[in-house]
């Protein structure tokens, strides 16, 4: 009888045990404002598209540049990159890329040189609104060598010559006609947003098969993918903008993992790990993630550097990091992370100094009123609009702490938050915020901050709101440095230019630096192969390596 029961139990248990885990549900806190790879920069979009498309090059978890859709990374040594003189007599470069054999869009159409040509043509037209604009301005010619090979000619020599960043193939057979009809309105008519599940848009190991706007994205294996076959049959990405609700879904098993790139705040993950023990795998990844306050610099009173300095002096960043983030998020002095090879350890620092903050505000003409809030000679209150992404518990908590700290200096902060898809796509991109905006920039190693600091990158209607200089910062020397640093191949000289850029940043405060973030990745015990990068290129770009144990 015992044998029969044991056999029966084994027969019942074995099929379930034998069933492989071939589906994965991921929780993130933001939903993409667009699915077009070249329009608007948003971490949620980068994370989702990492499963479904591949750029030419990317920086891996080791922070080294590698080919994703190209066969060989061009270098001066292998001859695929060459110095040359431009038709205008300037020093330039010629860089050749060959697409990997067998790469196809989801409808079976080969990814070709024409797809790169179309992306280049659209990017060169400022009405399209592609970013970064400097790349397309500098790449003055694209030569189709054969169906899989293109040569780009640049009007300058840069140390980043073989990093293509966001330049990637776009399906010309789907998108070119839409773009040619009217480049200015293309961003609202692109198939990436009107036909997101069209397989012809995707060339990665997965393709998007369903979307629920604001809620979820479903991806399934791309049957024509020629690279390493992905383990998972289906990936579901759920957007839960409230981090408390996201944690609840994780504990209830409604999501298998929380993406570190867009997941639980650090202190929330630390507390969760203490409570749950070994139920999940926790990984804390420090990286090039700069939490800061963007500042509307062309609007009083923030156009006065004394007010910006007073804000920073009245902010006890060290205490915030220790009490809210267990000291895991180091205080930032500029946008350059100490992990970056170009960091200057001697850059000016602004320690917490409430008395000095008050003195600066006095000097700027802001004196305390009867309610403690300062006023100028005209009677205007020192009151600043303060925005961030609604539902992010850590940021909302930081807002409240900063609001209290600044009030001690006589500064009123009026909190007004928005859902991430509105905050990033409309309020920031179109420069509709009026005071301070709390969010993070994620960069690649030694990434020159041209798009956030150069005055040419201030979003405006003429460029269809491309650019990331949301604060409207203008500084002629910074314009020159962000133009010249990439062109300096001599490392010691480039380091000196970086030192000067950081010195100006620390003095001018085009943004208010807070800290460098560590991402908290929460995975199920059975998941392996995820490699967080700690920089701009998300882990999903290598999702075909993810496995269930």
Here the CATH number for the domain that contains residue 122 is 3.90.76.10
pLDDT tens digits for 126-149? Answer: 899 887 778 898 999 999 999 999
- Say if residue 503 is in the same domain as residue 480: yes
Any domain includes 68: yes
- 265 within 8 A of 521, measured Cβ to Cβ: no
In the predicted model, what is the mean pLDDT of residues 219-236? 97
- 243 within 8 A of 394, measured Cβ to Cβ: yes
DSSP code, position 104? B
Cα separation, 475 vs 427, whole angstroms: 24
Closest by Cα among 38, 52, 390, 386 to 214: 390
- Say if residue 136 is in the same domain as residue 243: no
What pLDDT, on the 0 to 100 scale, is given for residue 536?
87
The least confident of 212-216, 316-320, 442-446 is: 442-446
- Say if residue 272 is in the same domain as residue 298: no
Any domain includes 223: yes
Q: The tokens of 77 are what? A: 């040594």
Q: Return the ∠ at Cα 443 (arms to 127 and 167), rounded to 5°.
A: 40
- Say if residue 256 is in the same domain as residue 368: no
- Say if residue 500 is in the same domain as residue 386: yes
Three-class SS of 463-530: HCCCCCCCCCCCCHHHHHHHHHHHHCCCHHHHHHHHHHHHHHHHHHCCEEEEEEEEEEEEEECCEECC
Q: Which residues contact 398 (CB under 8 A, 6 or more apart)?
A: 320, 324, 388, 438, 514
- Say if residue 307 is in the same domain as residue 186: no
CATH number of residue 268's parent domain: 3.40.190.10
Q: What is the pTM of this model?
A: 0.80
The confidence band for 16, taking pLDDT boundaries of 50, 70 and 90, is very low
State the total domains in the chain.
Answer: 3
Residue ranges making up the domain that contains 135: 54-179
DSSP E strands, 254-313: 257-258, 280-295
- Among 179, 199, 218, identify where a domain stops: 179
- Among 179, 203, 227, identify where a domain stops: 179
Cα separation, 262 vs 28, whole angstroms: 5
Half-sphere exposure of 319 (CA within 13 A, CB side): 9
Cα separation, 444 vs 60, whole angstroms: 10
CB atoms within 10 A of CB 30: 24
The confidence band for 328, taking pLDDT boundaries of 50, 70 and 90, is confident
Any domain includes 38: no
Q: Which residues contact 71 (CB under 8 A, 6 or more apart)?
A: 98, 99, 100, 101
CATH number of residue 463's parent domain: 3.10.105.10
Task: Tell me what the pLDDT averaged over the chain comes to.
Answer: 93
The confidence band for 405, taking pLDDT boundaries of 50, 70 and 90, is very high
In the predicted model, what is the mean pLDDT of residues 268-295? 94
- Say if residue 377 is in the same domain as residue 500: yes
- Say if residue 315 is in the same domain as residue 280: no
What pLDDT, on the 0 to 100 scale, is given for residue 19?
56
DSSP E strands, 296-435: 367-368, 374-375, 383-387, 412-415
| 518 phi/psi in degrees, rounded to 5 | -110, 135
- Say if residue 162 is in the same domain as residue 269: no
Percent of the chain with pLDDT over 90: 84
Peptide bond into 132 cis (omega under 30): yes
- Say if residue 510 is in the same domain as residue 423: yes
Any domain includes 42: no
Pairing of strands 547-548, 527-528: antiparallel
Q: The tokens of 503 are what? A: 């010195």
In the predicted model, what is the mean pLDDT of residues 69-87? 96
Any domain includes 4: no
pLDDT tens digits for 104-121? Answer: 999 999 999 999 999 999
Any domain includes 230: yes
- Say if residue 95 is in the same domain as residue 152: yes
The answer, yes or no, to whether residue 4 has pLDDT greater than 60, is no
What pLDDT, on the 0 to 100 scale, is given for residue 437?
97
The confidence band for 489, taking pLDDT boundaries of 50, 70 and 90, is confident
In the predicted model, what is the mean pLDDT of residues 237-263? 96
The answer, yes or no, to whether residue 6 has pLDDT greater than 50, is no
Gyration radius of the chain's alpha carbons: 25
Any domain includes 5: no
- Say if residue 449 is in the same domain as residue 405: yes
Alpha-helix residue ranges (DSSP H) falling in 375-475: 393-409, 420-422, 450-453
Cα separation, 115 vs 208, whole angstroms: 20
Any domain includes 329: yes
The least confident of 235-239, 262-266, 433-437 is: 262-266
């Amino acid at each position: 009888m015992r044998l029969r029961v044991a056999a029966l139990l084994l027969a019942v248990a074995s099929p379930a045990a034998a069933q492989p885990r071939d589906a994965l549900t991921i929780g993130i806190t933001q939903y993409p404002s667009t699915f077009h790879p070249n329009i608007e920069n948003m971490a949620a979009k980068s994370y989702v598209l990492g499963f479904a498309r591949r750029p030419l090059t990317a920086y891996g978890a080791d922070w080294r540049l590698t080919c994703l859709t190209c066969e060989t990374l061009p270098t001066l040594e292998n001859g695929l990159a060459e110095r040359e003189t431009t038709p205008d007599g300037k020093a330039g470069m010629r860089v050749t890329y060959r697409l990997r054999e067998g790469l196809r869009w989801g409808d079976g159409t080969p990814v070709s040189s024409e797809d790169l040509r179309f992306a280049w043509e659209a990017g060169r037209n400022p009405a399209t609104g592609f970013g970064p604009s400097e790349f397309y301005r500098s790449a003055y010619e694209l030569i189709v060598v054969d169906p899989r090979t293109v040569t780009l000619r640049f009007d300058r020599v840069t140390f980043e010559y073989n990093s293509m960043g966001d330049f990637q193939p776009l399906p010309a057979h789907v998108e070119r006609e839409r773009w040619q009809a009217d480049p200015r309105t293309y961003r609202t008519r692109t198939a990436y947003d009107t036909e997101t599940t069209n397989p012809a848009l995707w060339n990665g190991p997965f393709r998007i098969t369903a979307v629920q706007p604001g809620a979820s994205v479903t991806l399934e294996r791309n049957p024509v993918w020629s690279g390493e076959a992905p383990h998972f049959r289906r990936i579901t990405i759920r957007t839960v903008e409230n981090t408390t609700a996201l944690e609840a879904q994780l504990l209830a098993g409604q999501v298998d993992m929380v993406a570190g790139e867009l997941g639980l705040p650090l202190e929330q993950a630390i507390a969760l790990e203490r409570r749950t023990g070994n139920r999940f795998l926790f990984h804390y990844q420090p990286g090039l993630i700069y939490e800061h306050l963007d500042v509307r610099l062309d609007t009083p009173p923030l156009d006065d550097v004394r007010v910006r300095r007073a804000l920073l002096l009245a902010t006890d960043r060290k205490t915030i990091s220790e009490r809210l983030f267990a000291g895991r998020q180091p205080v930032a002095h500029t946008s350059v992370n100490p992990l970056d090879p170009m960091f200057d350890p001697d850059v000016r620092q602004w320690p917490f100094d409430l008395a000095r903050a008050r003195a600066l505000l006095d000097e700027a003409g802001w004196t305390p009123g009867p309610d403690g809030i300062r006023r100028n000679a005209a009677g205007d209150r020192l009151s600043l609009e303060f925005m961030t992404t609604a539902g992010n518990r850590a940021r909302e908590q930081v807002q409240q702490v900063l609001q209290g700290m600044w009030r001690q200096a006589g500064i009123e902060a009026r909190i007004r938050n928005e859902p991430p898809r509105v905050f990033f796509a409309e309020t920031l991109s179109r420069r509709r915020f009026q005071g301070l905006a709390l969010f993070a920039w994620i960069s690649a190693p030694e990434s020159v901050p041209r798009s956030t600091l150069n005055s040419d990158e201030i979003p405006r209607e003429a460029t269809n709101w491309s650019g990331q200089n949301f604060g409207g910062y203008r500084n002629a020397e910074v314009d020159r440095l962000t133009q010249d640093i990439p062109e300096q191949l001599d490392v010691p000289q480039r380091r000196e230019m970086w030192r000067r850029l950081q010195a100006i940043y620390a003095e001018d405060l085009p943004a208010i630096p807070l800290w460098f973030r560590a991402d908290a990745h929460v995975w199920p015990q059975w998941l392996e192969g995820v490699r967080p990068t700690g920089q701009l290129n998300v882990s999903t770009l290598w999702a075909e390596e993810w496995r269930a144990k």
